[in-house]
Amino acid sequence: MAPPRTYRCEAIILGYTPLREADLLVTMFTRDQGKVKAVAKGARRSTSKLVGHLEPLTVVRMSMAHGRNMDIISQAEVIRSFSELKEDLTAIAKGQYLAELVDGFGAEASANPGLFQLMIDTLGAVEADSASDMPLRFFELHLLQVSGLMPELYHCVECRNELEPDAHRFSPNMGGTLCLDCSPDDAHLRPLSLRALKVLRLLDRSEIVESCRLSPDDGLAAELKSLLSTTVSYWLGKEIRSNSFLERLNKESHPEVYI
C-alpha cells in the first residue's frame, strides 16, 4: 500500500530562500522526520495564508504534501513564535547560531527528537536572558550528546583511567579529555583547566534552567566557548558562519574585554 500523500508535522523553521517568482524554499527541522526542505508556493505574496508563519526560529505545525521532487507546504499554524527573542538583536544572532548548528548536524529524513526539543528549550532560555552565553554552551555540549558525539569528561580517552581533580588536556579529534600522562601523536591538544572541566560536567548533568544560572568570569567563559565551539566546528567540518556576527556583537557590547 502506498504511503499517504499528505502528512502533518511539528517543525522549527531554520531558514528560507526565495524560489521562482513568489515561492519560498523552506528549511526546517521536524520532530519526526528530521531535517526537511519544502516549497511554500506563493508564500512571498502578501495575500498568502502562509505569510508570517514561516519566519526563522518559529515553531510551526505543518500540513505537508509529498511532491515529485520536493514536499509542498499546504498549511502552517504557529505554535510558538519566540516574539520577544525576535525583538532583540543579540538574541536573534544567538538563535541564528543555533539554527545553523541544527541545519549542520540534523540529517534529512532522520528523526532526532532530542535535538528538536533541545533547540526549543535553548531558544526559550535565550529569549529569557539574551545577555547570558550559558544557553549556547549548554546547547553545544548537548548537541554533541544527542548526535552521538559526546566528548569524554570523566576518564582519559587514551588510558581510560578516571580523571583526577586537576588541570588536564582536551582533544576534539580524540573524543574528549586526556590525562597529563597521555599525549597521542595525532591528538590536537588544548589545555583544560579544572574549573572548566567542573563546569562541563555540571552542564552534562544539569537541565538547561539550572545551567543558565551559572555566571562564569570572563576567563572561564572564554575557555568554555573556545573548547566547545572548536569541538562543534571539528565535527561539523567547517567554520560556523554566524559565529563571526556574534563575536562582533560581543565586541561592541563589551569592548573592554577585547582590549
Q: Band of the pLDDT at 259, cuts 50, 70, 90?
A: very low
HEC secondary structure over 110-170: CCCHHHHHHHHHHHHHHHHCCCCCHHHHHHHHHHHHHCCCCCECCECCCCCCECCCCCEEE
- Is the model's pLDDT at 255 over the cut of 60? no
Task: Tell me, yes or no, whether 39 lies in a domain.
Answer: yes
User: What pLDDT is attached to residue 250?
Assistant: 75
Task: Tell me, yes or no, whether 222 lies in a domain.
Answer: yes
Task: Tell me, yes or no, whether 209 lies in a domain.
Answer: yes
Amino acid type, 218:
D
Q: Are strands 23-30 and 34-40 parallel, antiparallel or unpaired?
A: antiparallel
- 226 and 104 co-located in one domain: yes
- 51 and 125 co-located in one domain: no
- 178 and 195 co-located in one domain: yes
Q: Please state the pTM of the whole predicted model.
A: 0.92
- Is the model's pLDDT at 1 over the cut of 50? no
> Residue 168 sits in a domain of what CATH number?
1.20.1440.120
Task: Tell me, yes or no, whether 1 lies in a domain.
Answer: no
> Residue 59 sits in a domain of what CATH number?
2.40.50.140
**The last residue of a domain, from among 25, 51, 80:** 80
| Parent domain of 61 | 6-80
